[in-house]
Chains A and B, each alone.
Chain A
Amino acid sequence: MDRVLALNAWVLYVFFYAPILVLIFFSFNDNNNVAIWTEASFRWYGEMFQNDNVTSSLRNSLVVAFFSTIVSTVIGTLLAISLERYRFRGRGALDGLAYLPIIIPDVTMAVMLLIFFFQAFGIIDNLFGVRLNTGLLTITLAHIAFSISFVAVVVRARLAQLDDSLEEAAADLYAGRWQTFRKVTLPLIAPGVAGGALLALTLSLDDVVVTSFVSGSGATTLPVYVFGLVRRGVTPLINAVSTVMLVASMVLVGISLGFQRGAEARGQKLADPEALKLEMAID
């Protein structure tokens, strides 16, 4: 049985990673055509960094991903805590609605946001006489809007596993609500928060549909640009861009894993009441 499972795992890995290896391999192809191998070269990497459109869309993608990840992680974590820990009127309804963005198809979400933005622009124009347009800001807001739910789901799963008694113990030791949150809850859910943030980051870097609808002047992101390139045939340029993005995300995952390990070690320390008391005393 073990052998079967191990084999299954290996087959799955090949299934996942073989296409990625092919992608990386052909990014070093000198030919204009992806599938016709001529000789190895860094030609497409050179072209990528010389291509102003690629570099500027990459910059746009990174700016959007950075801000949308931070904001959606904070809001998503707060949403998870309020839904999991507090009882308030309308909680049930909010609970159900919170995950709607996960279910709604991308295109629906895109059209919805597009119309919303321009309606809002109209109102602002009427009230303040300022004429706004779509751009990096609307893309960032849109990414925040669809990432929050994902962050909330991940953080909430972590919160649900958490033992209430730790927080009660902190309260017994005269820790205020904020102190409890900062010294006990947050360190314990940190791996969940980091996981949620990583998910938000990936979603933002990947998104084509929503972004292509709510983008504006000077705000083409990398996935939208790459998708448009395919119309003119697939060149190894796309492979080179993807390879760079892949390496960048793997570095990020590595950092996040390291962070999670650290947090877990600290979490274990916290689970020990003596250590907890000590931390409180130091504060």
Chain B
Amino acid sequence: MQKTARFVVTFVVLALMITACGGDGVDDGPDGTTVDGGETDGGAAACALDQVDGDLNFYNWSDYMDPELITAFEEQYDVDIVEDFFESNEAMLAQLQAGASYDVIVPSDYMIGIMIQESLLTSINTDAVPNMANLGERFTTLPYDPGNVYSAPYQYGTTGLGVNKSIVGEDFPRSWALIFDPELTATYPSGASVLNDSRETMGAALKYLGYSLNDTDLGHLQEAADVISAALGGIATFDSDQYEESLANGEVPVAHGYSGNMITAIGDAANPDDFEYILPEEGATLWIDNMVVPVSAENPCTAFTFINYLLDAENGAALTNFNYYGSPNAAALALVDPEVVEFYAATEEAENLEVIQDTGEYEINFTDYLALAKG
């Protein structure tokens, strides 16, 4: 046993030594300038407008940022941006909790609430980010961070229904009835496509019944499950991956899905005018990805300058014209492609959009009741 212990200890020491030797190389790029500003405990770092204090480590979703915007920022401020990509909010959270350091991260809405609770975020210094004033009103009163103390919206999208008007007709109800009313779906030549996602699908049924999609009353959830099981005859598939293609192919008359996928699928379809993406009048899901600066950021001033840069009207429009998601930047809308503006016009007007919030322990019920409803 002694030798085993010795082996383990040796291995650990060896591993540490290797890390120590190579570590410098890894840190070379981003660690050009180090500033103590990042060590503040949740308070905004003292940064002036357009101040930079080193290279920027940017942690984002894949293919979400226009590379030209990055190059332009690098030239304008004479710093380097190292962009890395994460594939889940949860893995990103674990990294940050363990002590990883990034300057700007783009987590989703519900994760912002968790990160604020865990004291992982530094508040945004509005002196350094005056372009926060460009945000549309809807995006300054978000439930997870009212007043945008810690987060600045990056892009948003919605969950609604894509409708093939050549099948359903021009005169259809703008309602979740399109997928949940058995009498209506019986008139389609084939069933509808519904998301296979516990929060989205149960949320749609809750909205159809007039409840909040964050409702935590089991009785209401049971009613929602009943709506879905009654509608099963008119639902061809529960699908979260290929629905936009099925819609564009004409395989399904109505598809429940995310705006970002719908806009590209409809744009690429043989006859785009046949399709319309609607937000049901009972209300729908709104999601928002946000820029935040973690307390462990090494270059918070560059981070604020970068956020301010992206919230600029022209740059905000360039971002939306690149990734085709909705822009929370009201000042940018005049410069956005008309196609995208038109697509998201319904969102601008819709009153009853809701952000999915973390319900903690209750979360499992959504999964259970959806499984129950599907039979």
Chain A residues within CB distance 8 Å of chain B: 31-36, 52-53, 57, 88-90, 93-94, 97, 110-111, 114-115, 117-118, 120-124, 128, 130-138, 141, 208-209, 212-213, 215-220, 224-229, 231-234
Contacts and interface: CB of A to CB of B under 8 A. Distances in A.
Contact of A33 (B62, B87, B88, B245): B245
Given A132-B27, A137-B26, 11 more contacts: A36-B245, A53-B62, A53-B85, A111-B94, A118-B99, A133-B27, A209-B91, A226-B62, A231-B62, A232-B61, A232-B261
Given A33-B268, A94-B7, A128 B20 contact: yes
A80 to B, nearest CB: 15
A212 B92 CA distance: 8
A218 B8 CA distance: 30
27 contacts: A33-B245, A33-B264, A33-B268, A36-B248, A36-B249, A36-B268, A53-B83, A90-B1, A90-B4, A122-B99, A132-B23, A133-B26, A141-B15, A141-B18, A209-B91, A217-B26, A217-B102, A218-B82, A218-B84, A224-B85, A224-B86, A231-B87, A232-B260, A232-B323, A233-B261, A233-B264, A234-B241
A53 B63 contact: yes
Nearest to A224: B87
B366 to A, nearest CB: 20
B76 interface: no
A115 B22 CA distance: 19
A218 B24 CA distance: 14
Majority DSSP secondary structure for residues of A touching B: helix
Nearest to A71: B18
A88 B3 contact: yes
Nearest to B261: A233
Nearest to B1: A90
Contacts of B63: 53, 228-229, 232
Contacts of B99: 118, 121-122
B80 to A, nearest CB: 10
Nearest to B4: A90
A120 B16 contact: yes
Given A89-B3, A90-B1, A227-B87, A217 B29 contact: yes
B228 interface: no
A233 B19 contact: no
A234 B25 CA distance: 35
B3 A124 contact: no
A52 B62 CA distance: 12
Contacts of B245: 33-36
B2 interface: yes
Interface string B91-102: 100110011111
A88 B6 CA distance: 13
B98 A117 contact: yes
Interface residues of B, number: 52
A65 to B, nearest CB: 17
Contacts of B19: 117, 120-121, 124, 132, 137-138, 141
Contact of A213 (B23, B26, B29, B91): B91
Contacts of B30: 217-218
B64 interface: yes
B95 A52 contact: no
Contacts of A220: 84-85
Contacts of A226: 62
Nearest to A115: B98
Interface string B51-86: 000000100011110010000000000000011111
Contacts of B244: 33, 233
A93 B4 CA distance: 8
B152 interface: no
A122 B94 CA distance: 17
Contacts of A133: 23, 26-27, 100-101
Contacts of B83: 53
Contacts of B95: 114, 134, 213, 215
A122 to B, nearest CB: 7
A226 B61 CA distance: 10
B242 interface: yes
Given A35-B242, A89-B1, A218-B82, A228 B62 contact: yes
A136 B94 CA distance: 18
Nearest to A35: B245
Interface string B310-346: 0000000000000100000000000000000000000
Contacts of A218: 26, 29-30, 82, 84
